[in-house]
Amino acid sequence: MTDINPLDVPETDPFDVARTAAREIAEATGIARHDIALTLGSGWGRAADLIGETTHTLDAEEITGFSAPALAGHAGKLRSVLLPGGKRALLIGARTHYYEGHGVRRVVHSVRTAAATGATTMILTNGAGGIRETWTPGTPVLISDHINLTADSPLEGATFVDLTDLYSRRLRDLARTIDPTLDEGVYCQFRGPHYETPAEVQMARVIGGHIVGMSTALEAIAARQAGMEVLGLSLITNLAAGIQTEPLSHAEVLDAGKSAEPVISALLARIVAAL
Ligand code: HPA
Protein backbone atom coordinates (compact mmCIF):
# COMPACT_ATOMS: atom_id res chain seq x y z
CA MET A 1 0.00 0.00 0.00
CA THR A 2 1.37 3.41 -0.84
CA ASP A 3 0.98 5.92 1.92
CA ILE A 4 -0.27 9.04 0.21
CA ASN A 5 -0.67 12.07 2.41
CA PRO A 6 -4.16 13.39 1.63
CA LEU A 7 -2.81 16.93 1.81
CA ASP A 8 -0.78 16.20 -1.32
CA VAL A 9 -3.93 15.52 -3.33
CA PRO A 10 -4.97 18.90 -4.74
CA GLU A 11 -8.71 18.07 -4.75
CA THR A 12 -8.66 17.32 -1.02
CA ASP A 13 -9.94 20.05 1.30
CA PRO A 14 -7.13 20.63 3.84
CA PHE A 15 -9.74 21.61 6.45
CA ASP A 16 -11.41 18.20 6.05
CA VAL A 17 -8.02 16.59 6.67
CA ALA A 18 -7.55 18.75 9.77
CA ARG A 19 -11.01 17.77 11.05
CA THR A 20 -10.15 14.09 10.54
CA ALA A 21 -6.86 14.57 12.41
CA ALA A 22 -8.66 16.34 15.26
CA ARG A 23 -11.18 13.50 15.48
CA GLU A 24 -8.34 10.98 15.69
CA ILE A 25 -6.67 13.00 18.46
CA ALA A 26 -9.97 13.14 20.37
CA GLU A 27 -10.39 9.38 19.98
CA ALA A 28 -6.81 8.56 21.00
CA THR A 29 -6.83 10.86 24.02
CA GLY A 30 -10.46 10.71 25.07
CA ILE A 31 -10.29 14.52 25.22
CA ALA A 32 -13.03 16.00 23.08
CA ARG A 33 -11.71 19.55 23.07
CA HIS A 34 -8.41 21.35 23.53
CA ASP A 35 -8.37 25.02 24.47
CA ILE A 36 -4.82 26.10 23.69
CA ALA A 37 -2.18 24.81 21.28
CA LEU A 38 1.57 25.32 21.39
CA THR A 39 4.17 24.55 18.75
CA LEU A 40 7.47 24.06 20.51
CA GLY A 41 10.45 25.03 18.36
CA SER A 42 14.19 24.88 18.96
CA GLY A 43 15.00 25.56 22.59
CA TRP A 44 11.41 25.49 23.84
CA GLY A 45 10.88 21.73 24.19
CA ARG A 46 11.30 21.53 27.92
CA ALA A 47 8.20 23.67 28.39
CA ALA A 48 6.28 20.51 27.59
CA ASP A 49 7.12 19.15 31.04
CA LEU A 50 6.49 22.40 32.89
CA ILE A 51 3.14 23.65 31.71
CA GLY A 52 1.03 20.87 33.16
CA GLU A 53 0.42 17.16 33.38
CA THR A 54 0.87 15.24 30.14
CA THR A 55 -1.97 12.75 30.02
CA HIS A 56 -1.41 11.41 26.49
CA THR A 57 1.50 11.33 24.06
CA LEU A 58 0.89 10.44 20.42
CA ASP A 59 3.22 9.85 17.50
CA ALA A 60 2.27 12.61 15.10
CA GLU A 61 2.92 10.28 12.18
CA GLU A 62 -0.04 8.15 13.23
CA ILE A 63 -2.39 11.09 12.80
CA THR A 64 -3.81 11.85 9.36
CA GLY A 65 -1.90 14.46 7.37
CA PHE A 66 1.15 14.68 9.61
CA SER A 67 4.52 14.03 7.96
CA ALA A 68 7.31 11.71 8.95
CA PRO A 69 9.94 13.71 10.83
CA ALA A 70 12.70 15.30 8.74
CA LEU A 71 15.34 13.70 10.97
CA ALA A 72 15.07 9.92 11.35
CA GLY A 73 14.75 8.84 14.97
CA HIS A 74 13.18 12.14 16.01
CA ALA A 75 9.56 11.13 15.82
CA GLY A 76 7.35 14.16 16.21
CA LYS A 77 5.07 13.90 19.22
CA LEU A 78 1.72 15.41 20.04
CA ARG A 79 0.87 15.71 23.71
CA SER A 80 -2.35 16.43 25.49
CA VAL A 81 -1.62 18.37 28.66
CA LEU A 82 -3.92 19.19 31.55
CA LEU A 83 -3.10 22.70 32.74
CA PRO A 84 -3.26 23.54 36.46
CA GLY A 85 -6.35 25.69 35.90
CA GLY A 86 -8.20 22.81 34.25
CA LYS A 87 -7.79 23.85 30.60
CA ARG A 88 -6.37 21.49 28.02
CA ALA A 89 -3.34 22.22 25.86
CA LEU A 90 -2.29 20.41 22.71
CA LEU A 91 1.50 20.42 22.41
CA ILE A 92 2.87 20.10 18.93
CA GLY A 93 6.43 18.84 18.86
CA ALA A 94 6.14 17.99 15.19
CA ARG A 95 6.83 20.96 12.97
CA THR A 96 7.00 20.56 9.21
CA HIS A 97 9.22 23.29 7.80
CA TYR A 98 8.58 24.96 4.49
CA TYR A 99 12.13 24.12 3.39
CA GLU A 100 11.32 20.42 3.55
CA GLY A 101 9.56 20.97 0.25
CA HIS A 102 6.28 19.18 1.08
CA GLY A 103 4.19 22.23 0.33
CA VAL A 104 2.53 24.78 2.54
CA ARG A 105 -0.54 22.64 3.31
CA ARG A 106 1.64 20.25 5.25
CA VAL A 107 3.45 23.15 6.94
CA VAL A 108 0.23 24.48 8.46
CA HIS A 109 -1.58 21.20 9.03
CA SER A 110 -0.69 21.10 12.74
CA VAL A 111 -2.14 24.58 13.23
CA ARG A 112 -5.34 23.72 11.36
CA THR A 113 -5.63 20.51 13.33
CA ALA A 114 -5.17 22.44 16.58
CA ALA A 115 -7.98 24.77 15.54
CA ALA A 116 -10.16 21.78 14.67
CA THR A 117 -9.59 20.34 18.17
CA GLY A 118 -11.21 23.51 19.48
CA ALA A 119 -8.11 25.52 20.36
CA THR A 120 -8.67 29.26 20.19
CA THR A 121 -5.17 30.32 21.24
CA MET A 122 -2.10 29.35 19.22
CA ILE A 123 1.35 29.84 20.71
CA LEU A 124 4.10 29.57 18.11
CA THR A 125 7.70 29.37 19.28
CA ASN A 126 10.95 29.08 17.36
CA GLY A 127 14.70 29.47 17.49
CA ALA A 128 15.86 32.33 15.28
CA GLY A 129 18.64 34.76 14.40
CA GLY A 130 18.67 38.23 15.93
CA ILE A 131 19.36 41.42 14.01
CA ARG A 132 19.53 43.67 17.09
CA GLU A 133 23.05 43.48 18.51
CA THR A 134 21.73 43.75 22.07
CA TRP A 135 19.94 40.41 21.79
CA THR A 136 22.60 38.00 22.97
CA PRO A 137 22.03 34.30 22.26
CA GLY A 138 19.53 32.94 24.77
CA THR A 139 17.28 36.03 24.69
CA PRO A 140 13.54 35.34 24.25
CA VAL A 141 11.73 37.94 22.13
CA LEU A 142 8.02 38.46 21.48
CA ILE A 143 7.04 38.54 17.82
CA SER A 144 5.14 41.78 17.17
CA ASP A 145 4.56 41.25 13.45
CA HIS A 146 6.09 39.42 10.52
CA ILE A 147 7.39 39.82 7.00
CA ASN A 148 6.72 36.72 4.95
CA LEU A 149 9.59 36.30 2.49
CA THR A 150 8.60 32.83 1.31
CA ALA A 151 6.48 34.22 -1.55
CA ASP A 152 3.89 31.64 -0.51
CA SER A 153 0.71 31.54 1.57
CA PRO A 154 -1.36 28.85 3.23
CA LEU A 155 -4.48 30.53 1.88
CA GLU A 156 -5.78 29.12 -1.37
CA GLY A 157 -7.81 31.00 -3.95
CA ALA A 158 -9.35 34.39 -3.32
CA THR A 159 -9.25 34.11 0.46
CA PHE A 160 -8.61 37.55 1.93
CA VAL A 161 -7.69 37.43 5.59
CA ASP A 162 -6.90 40.50 7.68
CA LEU A 163 -3.49 40.27 9.35
CA THR A 164 -3.65 43.49 11.36
CA ASP A 165 -2.69 42.59 14.93
CA LEU A 166 -1.90 39.04 13.79
CA TYR A 167 0.35 38.67 16.85
CA SER A 168 -2.15 39.58 19.52
CA ARG A 169 -1.33 42.74 21.43
CA ARG A 170 -3.39 41.41 24.32
CA LEU A 171 -1.25 38.28 24.58
CA ARG A 172 2.00 40.25 24.19
CA ASP A 173 0.92 42.53 27.03
CA LEU A 174 0.01 39.52 29.10
CA ALA A 175 3.45 37.97 28.46
CA ARG A 176 5.04 41.23 29.65
CA THR A 177 3.13 41.03 32.91
CA ILE A 178 5.12 37.81 33.50
CA ASP A 179 8.45 39.23 32.27
CA PRO A 180 8.47 43.02 31.85
CA THR A 181 11.94 42.84 30.24
CA LEU A 182 10.60 40.95 27.19
CA ASP A 183 11.52 42.84 24.05
CA GLU A 184 9.62 42.47 20.80
CA GLY A 185 10.42 42.53 17.11
CA VAL A 186 9.34 41.80 13.56
CA TYR A 187 10.02 38.24 12.40
CA CYS A 188 11.16 37.69 8.80
CA GLN A 189 10.49 34.22 7.48
CA PHE A 190 13.04 33.19 4.88
CA ARG A 191 12.62 29.99 2.94
CA GLY A 192 15.88 28.37 4.11
CA PRO A 193 17.29 25.84 4.75
CA HIS A 194 20.46 27.83 4.12
CA TYR A 195 21.04 30.63 6.58
CA GLU A 196 20.77 34.14 5.20
CA THR A 197 23.66 35.99 3.61
CA PRO A 198 24.81 39.15 5.42
CA ALA A 199 23.28 41.15 2.54
CA GLU A 200 19.92 39.43 3.06
CA VAL A 201 20.09 40.21 6.76
CA GLN A 202 20.76 43.87 5.92
CA MET A 203 17.78 43.81 3.57
CA ALA A 204 15.64 42.36 6.36
CA ARG A 205 16.80 45.12 8.67
CA VAL A 206 16.10 47.87 6.12
CA ILE A 207 12.58 46.62 5.42
CA GLY A 208 11.76 46.58 9.13
CA GLY A 209 12.79 43.12 10.36
CA HIS A 210 14.47 42.31 13.66
CA ILE A 211 14.42 38.50 13.73
CA VAL A 212 15.24 36.03 10.94
CA GLY A 213 13.99 32.48 10.81
CA MET A 214 12.53 29.68 8.72
CA SER A 215 9.13 28.98 10.28
CA THR A 216 6.19 30.63 12.05
CA ALA A 217 4.92 33.29 9.58
CA LEU A 218 3.04 30.79 7.39
CA GLU A 219 1.74 29.04 10.50
CA ALA A 220 0.57 32.32 12.02
CA ILE A 221 -1.37 33.18 8.84
CA ALA A 222 -3.14 29.81 8.98
CA ALA A 223 -3.90 30.32 12.67
CA ARG A 224 -5.47 33.69 11.96
CA GLN A 225 -7.48 32.26 9.08
CA ALA A 226 -8.81 29.71 11.59
CA GLY A 227 -9.78 32.56 13.91
CA MET A 228 -7.20 31.83 16.59
CA GLU A 229 -5.47 34.39 18.76
CA VAL A 230 -1.72 34.11 18.15
CA LEU A 231 1.24 34.57 20.46
CA GLY A 232 4.68 34.28 18.84
CA LEU A 233 7.95 33.88 20.73
CA SER A 234 11.44 33.61 19.28
CA LEU A 235 14.47 32.40 21.14
CA ILE A 236 17.45 34.27 19.72
CA THR A 237 19.95 31.44 19.26
CA ASN A 238 22.52 33.53 17.40
CA LEU A 239 23.06 36.96 15.96
CA ALA A 240 22.09 36.85 12.29
CA ALA A 241 24.72 36.41 9.57
CA GLY A 242 26.97 39.43 9.28
CA ILE A 243 25.69 40.88 12.58
CA GLN A 244 27.94 38.34 14.22
CA THR A 245 31.29 38.05 12.51
CA GLU A 246 31.77 34.30 13.01
CA PRO A 247 30.12 31.85 10.59
CA LEU A 248 26.79 30.37 11.68
CA SER A 249 26.54 26.73 12.58
CA HIS A 250 23.58 24.52 13.30
CA ALA A 251 25.47 23.14 16.32
CA GLU A 252 25.80 26.65 17.75
CA VAL A 253 22.09 27.21 17.25
CA LEU A 254 21.25 23.95 19.04
CA ASP A 255 23.70 24.70 21.88
CA ALA A 256 22.22 28.13 22.49
CA GLY A 257 18.79 26.55 22.53
CA LYS A 258 19.90 23.96 25.07
CA SER A 259 21.46 26.46 27.48
CA ALA A 260 18.50 28.81 27.35
CA GLU A 261 15.91 26.05 27.54
CA PRO A 262 15.36 25.93 31.33
CA VAL A 263 14.83 29.68 31.60
CA ILE A 264 12.62 30.22 28.56
CA SER A 265 10.62 27.05 29.19
CA ALA A 266 9.82 28.26 32.70
CA LEU A 267 8.83 31.64 31.24
CA LEU A 268 6.55 30.00 28.70
CA ALA A 269 4.94 27.84 31.40
CA ARG A 270 4.18 30.98 33.45
CA ILE A 271 2.68 32.70 30.40
CA VAL A 272 0.47 29.68 29.67
CA ALA A 273 -0.65 29.58 33.31
CA ALA A 274 -1.72 33.23 33.01
CA LEU A 275 -3.84 32.71 29.85
N1 HPA B 1 18.54 32.42 10.43
C2 HPA B 1 17.47 31.66 10.12
N3 HPA B 1 17.00 30.72 10.91
C4 HPA B 1 17.62 30.55 12.09
C5 HPA B 1 18.73 31.32 12.48
C6 HPA B 1 19.21 32.31 11.59
O7 HPA B 1 20.17 33.04 11.86
N8 HPA B 1 19.10 30.88 13.72
C9 HPA B 1 18.21 29.89 14.06
N10 HPA B 1 17.33 29.69 13.09
Measured in Å, residue 87 CA sits from the centre of ligand 1 at 33
Q: Whose CA is nearest to atom 7 of ligand 1?
A: 129
- Nearest residue to 5 via CA among 69, 95, 65: 65
| CATH code of the domain made up of 6-274 | 3.40.50.1580
Q: Whose CA is nearest to atom 6 of ligand 1?
A: 129
Find how far residue 252's CA is from the centre of its chain. Answer: 20
The pLDDT, as a whole number, for residue 72 is 55
Contact 138, 265 (CB under 8 A): no
- Name the residues annotated as catalytic: 196
Is the beta carbon of 116 within 6 A of some atom in ligand 1? no
Nearest CA to ligand 1 atom 3: 213
196 touches ligand 1 (CB under 6 Å): yes
The mean pLDDT value for 15-27 works out to 97
Is 237 a pocket residue for ligand 1 (Cβ < 6 Å)?
yes
pLDDT number for residue 1: 41
Alpha-carbon distance of 57 to 96, in angstroms, equals 18
Flag whether 250 is marked binding: no
pLDDT, one tens digit per residue, over 91-142 is 999 889 999 999 999 999 999 999 999 999 999 999 999 999 999 999 999 9
Q: Where are the chain's structural domains?
A: 6-274
Q: Is 129 in the pocket of ligand 1 (CB under 6 A)?
A: yes
Percent of the chain scoring above 70 in pLDDT: 97
Per-residue pLDDT for 253 more than 90?
no
Q: What is the pLDDT of residue 74?
A: 55
CA distance 101 to 10: 16
